[in-house]
Every structure is written in C-alpha cells, then in structure tokens.
Amino acid sequence: MVRENTEALELASKLISINSVTGGEEDIISFLSSYLEEKGFSVMRLPSGSIAASYDYKRKGPVLVLDGHIDTVDVKNEDEWVTPPFNATVRDGWLRGRGASDMKGAVASFITAASSLLDEDLSGRLVISCTVEEERFEGIAARDVTSIFHPDYTIIGESTGLRLNIGQRGRAEIRVRADGVSCHSSNPEAGKNAIYAAMDAIARINTIEAPPHPVLGRGVLVPVDIISSPYPGASVIPDKVTVTYDRRTLPGETPESVVAQIQDALDGSAYASLVHGSTVSYSGAKLEADRFFPSWLMDENDEIVVKARNALENANLFHGIGAYSFCTNGSHYRGEAGIATIGYGPGEERYAHTANEGITLESLYESVLGYRAIIKGLLS
C-alpha cells in the first residue's frame, strides 16, 4: 500500500474539473501557468498556445522534459457515465472523470514529483511540457518544446500501468481515391460508378498483410471513413469515392513506404496519398503537417532506459518493460527529433477515451514516487 499523496490528488482533481476538450484549453493553461509559477518554475507560453515550465539547477547537466498533453477528447453521451465527466469524483479507490487516465492524472503526478525536487542537489534543467491539440495532432505542438529547450531526455507521461515503456507504434492517415464518371442513376451505363471502383480498391487493400514486430506487435491497416461525391447522391452516380485508412506503423516505415505499399496493391485502380492536416489552437495558432506520426523504439541497453530502470528498481517500483499500442507525443520527441525517450505514467491505456474513465488512487500515488526516482536518476 502506497502512502496517500494529497497534493497530487487535489491537483489531478482540479485539472479534471477544468473542461479542456481539444480547442478549449485556455482555462487549464491559465490555471497551470499560475500554479507552476507559484511552485517556483519559470513559465513560458509557446507559439502553439502550450506552456513549458522550466527550472535550472545550480550544476550544469542534461535537459529533461516531462511531457503531458492537457487536452482531452469530448464526451459524446453523458448518460453513459456514472459520475459527472467534468467533475472529478473519488470513489472506491478510483479517481474518475474525463482525462483522468489520458492524461491529467499523469500531469498532476509529475508536476507534484518535480515540485518536490527543486531543492535537491541535482544538475541540469527540468522542463514540464503541457501541450495542446494532441488529441487531434500528436506531436505537432511538442515541436515548440524541442526547438526552444533542446532536450537530452524526454519522459512521456501517457498511461503505462506503471511499466517503463520504451516505444510505440506510429500512425499514418492515408486517403484512397477511386474515380468514376457521374451520370443520372436512371441510366447508369452512361457513366462509371466510383463506388464499384472503391469496392475493388478496398478488396485489393484487404490482401495487404501489415508487418509484425517482436516488441510493438503487428502494424494495422483499417478503413475508418468513406465518402462519395457528390453527396448526397440521390439519383446521381458518384464520380469520386474517398476511403480514409488508419495505418499503425512500425520502426523503419516512412511516409513513402506506407503509401507505396497501398499503391502497389491498387495497381492503378485507385490512388493513395498521405493526408495533410491542419488545425487552429485556442490561441489562434495554425498547426499543420502531413498526418504521419513515426513509430519509435529504444533499446533496453540505452542509457535512459538503464538509468530509469535502475532508479525504479532501487525504489522497489519497477513493474517491467512495455510499449504503447497507441500514438503519443513520443512520435515527435523520438520519432522525429531522435531524443532519448521513455514512457511512464499512472493508469491503463484501455481506459483512455472511454466512459467512466479513471485511474486508481494507488496508481496515482505510486507514480509520484516513480517520477521522483526517475528524475533523480537522470539528473544526479
């Protein structure tokens, strides 16, 4: 049984009770800015609307970023919740509310841990990153953090069940376009129905076997959306159908390779391309990039993994090595920027984005101890 940590619980509860669905993070950013300044950090508002809070120790050393996004997905049906989703509720050893697991519990935990270490004899710079827009655009806002602070190490706070995660699958959005010739549906022979072309394209893509990986599991290729044009198509044969695919990628795969794999299977029957996305944050900042978020994997013998593991083992807090199945800001830190990165956080992946989302209090309290141990291990 881990000792209760009132500070972490109160902060997590406060964060959950501030509605910060993606695009509406202004209130939580304002709260965290004031909170972190009061704790002794220097707070910077980043171009994306995110914030980063830094603290410099007296001795020179590495830059360590504790990364957490503070936006959440929305709640589609509040009737599915047994507790109010935007009011933190403590019951039966659980903290529940939207964002408890993904990932306000972790943000509260690593802020509590970091704040308790400001008087320690450590070295380097400690940076707390609170990013916006992650639920729509993983890793894009995190680019600000890297360009300004140039981290040597990053800890992703997404839920790991208190395991030490060393990698993740990436994600690509690929759009497949099937073309036809529009005409009146009373005379379909006069045109070419793009729906049939799309059906053929889907059948061809279904023959692709996504590659496996011994640590990260199998890549995924699954259709998530299909749209015909013109729409609605009453009495009109569509001249275009687009099918959007979610492709969960593995280390070594590139934007070019994942698109080429699909295009080769289509053999000219349709056309595949990477989706280019853009969004505007609450601050008015425009974020845009191709929707390809790289996979990454650290070796178990890499310095950051060895130091973090030793720190957790010495504190009797080590629960094994793992990897994320979903995408995180690590796609930027490790996948794009090549920064030494690990994942560690309270809660379980399976509760993210679900009704009655929550984390156990035991997990929240233990993660504070785990973050303390890892920070000290990396900055001693």
pLDDT digits (tens, 9 = 90+) for 296-314: 999 999 999 999 999 999 9
For the chain, what percent of residues have pLDDT higher than 90? 94
> Model-level pTM?
0.93
In eight-state DSSP terms, residue 235 is: T
Q: pLDDT: is 199 or 138 the higher one?
A: 199
- Is residue 295 scored above 80 in pLDDT? yes
CATH code given to domain 6-169+295-379: 3.40.630.10
* pLDDT at residue 116, as a whole number: 98
- Is residue 233 scored above 90 in pLDDT? no
Burial of 42-67, coded b for 16+ CB within 10 Å and e otherwise, reads ebbebebbbbbbbbebeeebebbbbb
- Is residue 128 scored above 90 in pLDDT? yes
Q: Are strands 51-56 and 42-45 parallel, antiparallel or unpaired?
A: antiparallel
- Is residue 1 scored above 90 in pLDDT? no
* Beta bridge mates, 245: 174, 223
Q: DSSP letters along 97-158, please?
A: STTIIIIIHHHHHHHHHHHTTTTS--EEEEEEEEESSTTTSTTTTHHHHHHHH--SEEEE-S
Domain boundaries, the chain: 6-169+295-379, 177-280
* pLDDT at residue 268, as a whole number: 87
CB atoms within 10 A of CB 110: 29
Q: What is the pLDDT confidence band of residue 234, given thresholds at 50, 70 and 90?
A: confident
Q: What average pLDDT does range 65-75 have in this prediction?
A: 97
Our measurement of the distance from residue 204's CA atom to the centroid of its chain's CA atoms, rounded to an integer in Å, reads 31
Decide if domain 177-280 falls under CATH 3.10.310.50. no
For the chain, what percent of residues have pLDDT higher than 70? 100
- Rounded to 10°, the helix 26-39/6-16 angle is 160
- Is residue 368 scored above 80 in pLDDT? yes
Please check whether the two domains, 6-169+295-379 and 177-280, share a CATH topology: no
* pLDDT at residue 267, as a whole number: 87
